Chain A
């Protein structure tokens, strides 16, 4: 009987997971197609104004990718290949720009070089309200994605593959002909992430008055204009991104060249000369100063440390943000856990599908799907925001959990099964405890992404419900730099707090599992 029950519970959970995933992540996105896209709109592609916005959006995305690669890939090589001074410090801090929402960086740069700042403004004859500025700010925010994935790949390449070539060619040639092709899938996927994130960004282009798709759709939607033209125009983009993800996968033949368990890891092999060290360090420092140092310093100065006033002003939005991001992260971990457990990498193209959807599209899809009588309890409450987080970020949470599952050998579960343990008991006594580090890491990823979120939330959140990013965004238009700056710093603190907590407990957490 227990075996039967075991099988039933397992099956039930398996179906429920798939159902929830489809409802939360797939159906809303398909709704974009169903309602807004029609063949009659094909002539839209000839609308000169929209076409121009479309091309500008692509230029923004492609240039941000190019610049992020130019910063991110060399940085990864410096960290993984060379004996760079202060390397372990750099390894810890290069991720920081990712924790500062790009629109917060934009606010700081506007206070510094634009027209917004009271104290720090340099009053240079410099116009930063343009596309290149948006590209620079977005690249300084997103390059850690490239560094993160490239470093991961470099760390886990079987170094004997490079050694075998090193016997024939000089180091530079080995990097070009062996290392780069091997890590290319990781570079491509990081480029896809950066591309989608940059064309999804509302705050940066809106604040810098660069008219690309996201502010355009937002403006049209807010004014109750028809969004179908914009949606139609962005469809080729979605399809293109999806094709890149699929091609990248089939290029890998379903598996990566990078094996986490490879037994031959590289030692830092390249000694730098004094001059090279100096150049490398200057490069890394410059990037960190531009992406973290200046924005945080400007915000600190402009805030006049008015944190208590700012808190009393934005107490509710802050609480909303923490509450909803926590609930969103919990929902994503719950679905992602079973998705990763039951389906592993089998449904990757579908699991990764939401990544291809720019944030505004996701928002429109969510509204189309949930704005019906039957689902109005979600549509008219904070639940729609939480579902929105899941729609956008579930793939990231699921993919964070994957490698942790890979490390649990099937025999651990099988032996429990053979000794008669029920499925519930296996979950409760074996999988949950072993997966604890994975669950916590995935929760933090979900939480950080949700706290960041502006462009989908601003579309779907019901009247009267504000998150901190929305509050900051709307305050930005009224001036008050000390309030905007204080709140921005508070938002960054909310994002960084769980990361610091995680780093503090990381050692004991992983030790408990691997012991």
Chain B
């Protein structure tokens, strides 16, 4: 079943067209990788899905309900979309516990027990009182995952989440994501410029260039048969 449907979406910033005539469909519980060089519009695409950016035209449907069309705009907090940012964007003035509390509060969930449960699940119990600047890269990553877990989003958007992690943390992050998919039954859109992050994780890959999709398909197929030289170069071929 198609869970996320994007139809003919366009977005310009001033004269620069960031996204042109883009259409995309993602199945429920699927992980889709969006691959492309920086400036190709992939972050804008994520922000449009999240509602952080309003497109110029097109239509976006999540789980059967329209969140953006000519007449509709559902604000971000009502879309139940989760996002993991590059460097994780943890709030510097909040402790780990407060991060999770802040998210749960938005869902009006009674906090204390749930916080402890999430902290335990991600081995963050001993760090509950720590601020982001006191955490290591791996710990920050786990807090970012905990934040998503607390939100229990329908769709999870990832914006270059592993680009500043070392190889071991990248591996761990992949495992955590797969686990998250199982626990939350969430649909994932993973944006990156590094194809290695998508291998063994993404079910499908969509390749973007200059605001357009130039190839899409199952991960293995795209990897084995890049449609042109540009796509091949993204796979280091």
Contacts and interface: CB of A to CB of B under 8 A. Distances in A.
B75 A170 contact: yes
A253 B93 contact: no
Contacts of B13: 267
10 contacts: A161-B92, A163-B50, A164-B85, A164-B147, A165-B91, A167-B83, A169-B77, A170-B77, A178-B91, A257-B92
A126 interface: no
A164 B91 contact: yes
A181 interface: yes
A238 to B, nearest CB: 29
A304 interface: no
A158 B89 contact: yes
A182 B131 CA distance: 14
B102 A161 contact: no
Contacts of A166: 52, 76-77
A177 interface: yes
Interface of A: 158, 160-161, 163-170, 177-178, 181-182, 253, 257, 267
B225 to A, nearest CB: 35
Nearest to A168: B106
B149 interface: no
Contacts of A165: 91, 102
B51 to A, nearest CB: 8
Which among B52, B85, B103, B106 has the greatest number of chain A C-beta atoms within 10 A? B52
Interface of B: 13, 47, 50-52, 75-77, 79, 81-83, 85-86, 89, 91-93, 102-103, 106, 133, 147, 151
A167 B77 contact: yes
A164 B50 CA distance: 10
Contacts, number: 52
Given A167-B82, A167-B83, A160 B75 contact: no
Contacts of A181: 93
A168 B102 contact: yes
A183 B106 CA distance: 22
Contact of A169 (B51, B81, B91, B106): B106
A168 B77 contact: yes
B103 A163 contact: no
Contacts of A158: 89
Given A166-B52, A167-B50, A167-B81, A160 B151 contact: no
A412 to B, nearest CB: 25
Contact of A168 (B47, B86, B92, B103): B103
B95 to A, nearest CB: 13
Contacts of B106: 168-169
Contacts of A163: 47, 50, 52, 83, 85, 89
A178 B89 CA distance: 12
B93 A257 contact: yes
Contacts of A178: 91
B45 to A, nearest CB: 14
Nearest to A181: B93
Given A167-B76, A167-B79, 14 more contacts: A160-B85, A160-B89, A161-B91, A161-B92, A163-B52, A164-B83, A164-B147, A167-B50, A167-B82, A167-B83, A168-B151, A182-B91, A257-B92, A267-B13
Nearest to B83: A167
A352 to B, nearest CB: 22
Nearest to A166: B76
**B92, B106, B133 — which one has the most chain A CB atoms within 10 A of its CB?**
B92
Contacts of B151: 167-168
Nearest to B47: A163
A388 to B, nearest CB: 39
A53 to B, nearest CB: 39
Contacts of B86: 160
Contacts of A170: 75, 77
Contacts of B147: 164
A309 B233 CA distance: 77
A182 B93 contact: yes
A167 to B, nearest CB: 5
A111 to B, nearest CB: 47
B91 to A, nearest CB: 6
Nearest to A258: B92
Contacts of A160: 85-86, 89
B172 to A, nearest CB: 21
A167 B91 CA distance: 14
Most buried by A among B47, B81, B85: B85
A182 B50 CA distance: 23
Nearest to B150: A168
A164 B46 CA distance: 13
B133 to A, nearest CB: 7
Nearest to B81: A167
Contacts of B83: 163-164, 167
Nearest to B131: A253
Nearest to A256: B92
A143 to B, nearest CB: 25
A173 B225 CA distance: 48
A182 B91 CA distance: 9
A177 B101 CA distance: 13
Nearest to A158: B89
A161 B77 contact: no
Nearest to B93: A181
A464 to B, nearest CB: 55
Nearest to A178: B91
A182 B81 contact: no
Residue of A163, A167, A168 with highest tally of chain B CB at under 10 A:
A167
> Which of B89, B103, B106 has most chain A Cβ within 10 Å?
B89
Closest 9 CB pairs of A and B: A168-B106, A160-B89, A181-B93, A160-B85, A164-B89, A257-B92, A166-B76, A167-B76, A163-B52
A182 B76 contact: no
